[in-house]
Structure 1
Amino acid sequence: MIEVIGLTRRFGRSAAVDDLSFTVAPGKITGFLGPNGAGKTTTMRIILGLDRPTSGRATVNGVPYRTLARPLTHVGALLDASAVQGGRRAEQHLRWLARTNGIPSTRIGGLLELVGLGEAGRQRVGAFSLGMKQRLGLAATLLGDPEALLLDEPLNGLDPEGIRWMRGLLKSLAAEGRTVLVSSHLMHEMAVTADHLIVIGRGRLLADTEMTRFVRPGRSLEDTFMDVIGSAS
């Protein structure tokens, strides 16, 4: 379980996240929605210990990410698929991550096959397309067989076949009882993928509810989202 409690992050006089609280429960896909600049990425960075809050806290299974031993075995994250050393081969990248967290390298081959990069393991990442980098990032996310997954715009660069594949994989991971938090601007995809929604605007919580309660009959997720954001503005 991921918990965000009274989280605030200020940059000077501006609040990127403003007294934000929510819980991401296991066994379902939680969509994390908001317009550009709403504070989604900042919130995820704080959950992962990459940024410090001005006040409040974020925990994974009751403890801050920074205190986790071998964190990749508890939490897998994909925030920026392009943030990989281009000179490394895909297999080398995963091997290095595995070594830092005491994860058996025997998992690497199977994960590359799972994400569709079985024949690209020896290729240098700098030659990968964005979609291939997303797949490699997902392999890194799953490397430690974590209980919780945080994915920021994981569909970027994927073709329709890749998007369908990602959707099925996320659903299967949630069905295994994992906690899955997905940030995306693709409303039509979130509408068929997410079970629960957390919507924020200007760093504040606007909605925390089941998908079926958020979207009224005859309305689309995009329509309802725009109504909520417009009312908040």
Structure 2
Amino acid sequence: MENTKQEFVLGDLDVQNGIIYCGGKDRYINILQVCCDTAEDNERQIEASFEKENWKEYIIAVHGLKSSMKSIGAKELSDCAKSLEMAGREGDIKYIQENHRNMMQEYRRVMKMIQESPFVEKPERKTCSVTGEDGPLLEEQLFIQRIENFETAVYSLDSNEMLEILKELQKYQYAGVMLAKPLSVIVRKVEQQDYMSALDYMTKLKIELDRRKNE
């Protein structure tokens, strides 16, 4: 029988609680991979909302970080994100400004530790075009309807329905952009149970694509 406590060690992460929280070792490793794959996008989103002083977006972003870090056993980082989330909800901007950098420094440390571990594949660094003629055109009304359906699934906590909607949309192109790649980020957020962040990203994606279409 595999002795997980002896064999599975990853830096200072509380691996055993992470495995329990995720429902098994395989699921835990999958969440590690998702964290690794989405680290760059998450860091960019958190930093952008902080720099713009968009505290509504910041609260959503650090809430997602709090949950994902708890799931992998990064307790100190999860607690830090939780404190920043609560400060945002209470309007304590001074606390955020004084503690944001420490949280991001710890986030980068944890992600580097995961990315250098033997348990995950390194994020791909492929250069590819986001435009193409490889999929059918998606009508705007259908896109709007699917986003509404996605929102309903988010508030119902129905991850299977969320993933079905995303899988369907990934077959299409919209505003000259194949949706498979940008939607893959949302898929990872759903797999990471970061549903509100996934919905926020979906809404922003539609706005950005509409802007591109109207240029």
Higher relative contact order at CA 8 Å, sep ≥6: structure 1 or structure 2? 1
Q: TM-score, normalised by structure 2?
A: 0.22
Which is richer in helix? Answer: 2
Q: TM-score, normalised by structure 1?
A: 0.21
